[in-house]
Amino acid sequence: MLSSKNHSDNGVQSTRISETYGHPGMMEMSPERLIESALQLQKAGENGKAETLYRKVLDTDPNNIHALHLLGVIAMDMGNPESAAKLIGKSLAIYPPNFKARFNLANALVSNGQMIEAIEELKETLREAPDYTRAISLLTELMRKQGRIEELVEILDEAQTAAPDCFEAKKEYGFTLAQLSRLEEAEKTLKECVEIDPRLAQIHYNLGCVQKKLKKFLDAQVSFQVALNLEPDHAAAKKNLAVAMASVGCYEQAIPTFLEAAEKLPDDPEVWNNLCMAFRQLGRFDEAFEASDQAIKANPGYHDIYNERGAAFQSFGGMKEAIGNYQKALEIEPGAIGAEKNLLFALLNLPNMSSDDLFRMHLDIRKHHEKPEFSNKTFGDRDRDPERRLRIGYLSSDFRTHVVSMNMTPLLTNKDENNFELFMYAQVDKPDVVTEQFQKITDHWRFITDIHDHDVATMIEEDEIDILIYLAGRFDQNRPTICTYRPAPIQVSFHDCATSGFSEMDYWLTDDLLHPEDTSEKFTEALYRLPIYYQYPVLERPTKAVELPANENGYITFGCFNKPEKINEGVVELWAQILSGVPNSKLFMKYFRLFSEKSTQQRWRDRFAEHGISSDRLIFAADRVMRSDHLNVMSQADIALDPFPFNGATTTFDSISSGIPVVCLKGRHFVDRVAYSILSHIGHPELAAETKEEYVRIACELAADRDRLRDLRKVIRGDMIDSPLCDGEAYAQSVEIAFRDMWRRYCLEN
């Protein structure tokens, strides 16, 4: 919009014209001279005098396009956009190719509330002058407000193509590509902008946001840091720099940056939420709870903080508080998938929950995702040949260094190429060497991060997947709701630890020990029992047995290497009985850094003290060691104690692979029959107790019989290696037989 503020001159000529205004000779000037004089008055801010001269021109030349246009600008300056639009519109009707007049008309229309008409004028302005930066800025602002992003990106693409040297067009094109999640194109364009002008903090910031979404966290850190170097008070850059640090596990470095961001953004609950997460990952629970309190203070209705606060309580071992926070999150945001998964996971740790109540909770929580409009798909064009080569899809966030990938590797590396074609749909934020191995194994690889559930389901359906395997649904970043769109004729839950709760899930893979015929567990799926459920890679284990630590220590060391959330009051009570029954014995507790803080250790000392166990009988390990050292640390224990009702799976495997016998209590559901299943398959069901009393007896008797314990430690690793748990080829065949059987049933029934 033209105005005296935007177009002021040096004032000398303007003052001279003002002094001579009204001179009889001025009114005798030609229209061109009058317009020139009026424009100088206008630049000097004397709109009234300028208006008189413009109207003098229009008296003799009613269609003078310059007088009409500039009189319209004065009308805008005087707060009369309706009159301005009429005057400038008349000027353009007489002579359309005047991009500055058209831009001013758009401004008048905006002031008059006519946004759609203003956008059309701005589009026409850019067709005429694609490098007109003011029109680009206003058009992008208006179209973003109206959500017309797809259309905007096309306009900006045309503008920056027509005017390749126009920085504004390129910059806004990059921003808009990012808004559309066309991330690779956005990154390329914004990098070009940085090369043209590296001094603009906002471009570096936006580039960092794009790189963060692309999971290029180290590149994002560089971009955010450059933005902060240019603009130290850029609070959003500070916040996102910390997020990028945390995303690669650099929590210690991220925390000071989060705190700095919190000083600048004290009312931003997301900053406090991320800070809570970082403290939780380090086992600094007191500080995590303080951060969550600040987030709730900033915004009591921010559901994510209750989910994160719940996760902190869960990691801390406070299951009642964790469940309460997850329920609060779902009260605020019903159907919030992160809180749903965490709540369903947490419920499995409750020792007294009945099968009926657990099933009802799954149905109640999952009902928000029912999609009847998708449930009746017939897949009528699908070839029903029961013996043809099948397309198997695996859907997971765990195609990386993860316990699920450890179980899946023997299955996938031994696949039958002739009968099965594999597709892997990977929700993997941070690909690693294991991800690369899976990419080599599979026939087709699809990254699905940041793709909407419905779009992923469409992708799966277009790939004509026959059997979709949904892995570890309630864990990590897995997205079980993709399956509610019924993208495949057969859908199977695998490596989850309870029912999915979805009517669209056809089968749940299990075995006879996890789910005997008389199981009391309830589920929406049909159970499909494999000969054996678990598989454990042989190469993960040391080859040499470790001597009995008690020989050197002079006392028995019991070990717990499980998550604190699994150690409920009933577990503490039984373990205290075992420690009391084995004089001078100690309990070694380790799980990453979750036992690292002094306050956390004191909490556990207090809990055991209530049962008569002195603090010197508890040993805590706080180091977050690499997996290659993990088994050696575990070897410091003589006997591992398995918690209940949520047993250890990978922890049980790791203990046995370190030569440590595991004592467990057999229960009613999948989660509290896992250790029993493993021990039975390796030939040591005698370590699985039927009752709590037997659990204490087995542990105490084994501790008292050093010769038996020493002999067991020598053979138990080999017993596992020689068991079906480590026979990947046979395991793969059994799973593929299951897939073929499922498909034959489907073909017969359909």
539 has pLDDT over 90:
no
Phi, psi of 297 (to 5 degrees): -65, -40
H helix or E strand, kind and range, residue 162: helix 149-162
**Where does the pLDDT of residue 19 fall: very low under 50, low under 70, confident under 90, or very high at 90 and above?**
very low
- Return the number of other C-beta atoms located less than 10 Å from residue 292's C-beta: 27
Direct distance between the N- and C-terminal alpha carbons of the chain, in angstroms, rounded to an integer: 68
Residues 360-374 pLDDT 10s: 999 999 988 888 888
Phi, psi of 595 (to 5 degrees): -110, 20
Q: What is the CATH number of the domain that holds 567?
A: 3.40.50.2000
| Alpha carbon distance 252, 285 (integer Å) | 14
| Alpha carbon distance 668, 351 (integer Å) | 11
The pLDDT value recorded for residue 1 is 34
**Where does the pLDDT of residue 57 fall: very low under 50, low under 70, confident under 90, or very high at 90 and above?**
confident
Which residue has better confidence, 210 or 1? 210
**Where does the pLDDT of residue 27 fall: very low under 50, low under 70, confident under 90, or very high at 90 and above?**
low
| Alpha carbon distance 173, 192 (integer Å) | 11
DSSP 8-state secondary structure symbol assigned to residue 472: S
**Where does the pLDDT of residue 4 fall: very low under 50, low under 70, confident under 90, or very high at 90 and above?**
very low
H helix or E strand, kind and range, residue 124: helix 115-128
Residue 482 falls inside a structural domain = yes
Let me know whether 468 and 525 are in one domain: yes
54 has pLDDT over 50:
yes
The pLDDT value recorded for residue 565 is 96
276 has pLDDT over 80:
yes
Q: How many CA atoms lie within 13 A of 663 on its CB side?
A: 27
| Alpha carbon distance 403, 52 (integer Å) | 82
How many residues does this entry show for the chain?
750
| Alpha carbon distance 650, 496 (integer Å) | 14
Let me know whether 422 and 563 are in one domain: no
Let me know whether 482 and 428 are in one domain: yes
Domain boundary among 494, 529, 564: 529
Residue 638 falls inside a structural domain = yes
696 has pLDDT over 90:
yes
DSSP E strand boundaries for 398-511: 420-426, 444-447, 467-471, 490-494, 507-511
The pLDDT value recorded for residue 234 is 98
The alpha carbon dihedral of 204, 205, 210, 211 has a sign of: positive
Let me know whether 573 and 716 are in one domain: yes
| Alpha carbon distance 229, 492 (integer Å) | 51
Residues 586-635 pLDDT 10s: 999 999 889 989 999 999 999 999 999 999 999 998 765 565 567 778 88
Residue 276 falls inside a structural domain = no
| Alpha carbon distance 319, 289 (integer Å) | 15
For the segment 258-271, the average pLDDT, to the nearest whole number, is 98
**Where does the pLDDT of residue 18 fall: very low under 50, low under 70, confident under 90, or very high at 90 and above?**
very low
3-class SS of residue 668: coil
750 has pLDDT over 60:
yes
3-class SS of residue 426: strand
The pLDDT value recorded for residue 632 is 76
Q: Can you say how many angstroms the Cα of residue 337 is from the centroid of all Cα atoms in its chain?
A: 11
The pLDDT value recorded for residue 314 is 97
Residues contacting 517, CB < 8 A, separation 6+: none
- What percent of the chain has pLDDT above 70? 94
Let me know whether 433 and 390 are in one domain: yes
Residues contacting 79, CB < 8 A, separation 6+: none
Let me know whether 585 and 506 are in one domain: no
H helix or E strand, kind and range, residue 170: helix 167-179
Percentage helix, strand, coil, to 5, in the chain? 60, 10, 35
Six token digits for residue 250? 């650099």
Domain boundary among 472, 500, 529: 529
The pLDDT value recorded for residue 42 is 82
Residues 302-357 pLDDT 10s: 999 999 999 999 999 999 999 999 999 999 999 899 999 999 999 999 999 999 99
Residue 105 falls inside a structural domain = no
For the segment 385-404, the average pLDDT, to the nearest whole number, is 96
Q: What is the CATH number of the domain that holds 510?
A: 3.40.50.11380
Question: What is the DSSP secondary-structure string of 19-34?
Answer: HHTT-TTGGGS-HHHH
What is the number of structural domains in the chain? 2
The pLDDT value recorded for residue 617 is 98
Let me know whether 493 and 556 are in one domain: no
Which residue has better confidence, 543 or 194? 194
505 has pLDDT over 90:
yes
Domain boundary among 500, 529, 558: 529
Let me know whether 399 and 518 are in one domain: yes
Q: Is the CB of residue 535 less than 8 Å from the CB of residue 728?
A: yes
Q: Mean pLDDT for the chain? A: 92
Let me know whether 651 and 700 are in one domain: yes
Domain that holds residue 636: 549-726
25 has pLDDT over 50:
no
**Where does the pLDDT of residue 21 fall: very low under 50, low under 70, confident under 90, or very high at 90 and above?**
very low
For the segment 380-390, the average pLDDT, to the nearest whole number, is 96
| Alpha carbon distance 315, 318 (integer Å) | 8
Residue 695 falls inside a structural domain = yes
For the segment 206-230, the average pLDDT, to the nearest whole number, is 97
Residue 190 falls inside a structural domain = no
**Where does the pLDDT of residue 35 fall: very low under 50, low under 70, confident under 90, or very high at 90 and above?**
confident
416-430 in b/e burial notation, b at 16+ Cβ within 10 A?
Answer: eeeebbbbbbbbbee
Let me know whether 611 and 643 are in one domain: yes
The pLDDT value recorded for residue 542 is 52
| Alpha carbon distance 633, 636 (integer Å) | 6
The pLDDT value recorded for residue 296 is 98
| Alpha carbon distance 42, 49 (integer Å) | 8
Residues 139-194 pLDDT 10s: 999 999 999 999 999 999 999 999 999 999 999 999 999 999 999 999 999 999 99
Let me know whether 569 and 717 are in one domain: yes
Residue 3 falls inside a structural domain = no
Q: Is the CB of residue 413 less than 8 Å from the CB of residue 441?
A: yes
649 has pLDDT over 50:
yes
pTM of the model: 0.85
Radius of gyration of the chain (CA): 35
6 has pLDDT over 60:
no
Residue 76 falls inside a structural domain = no
The pLDDT value recorded for residue 336 is 92
Let me know whether 710 and 586 are in one domain: yes
Please name the residue that has the structure tokens 């205290």. 576
Q: Is the CB of residue 590 less than 8 Å from the CB of residue 620?
A: yes
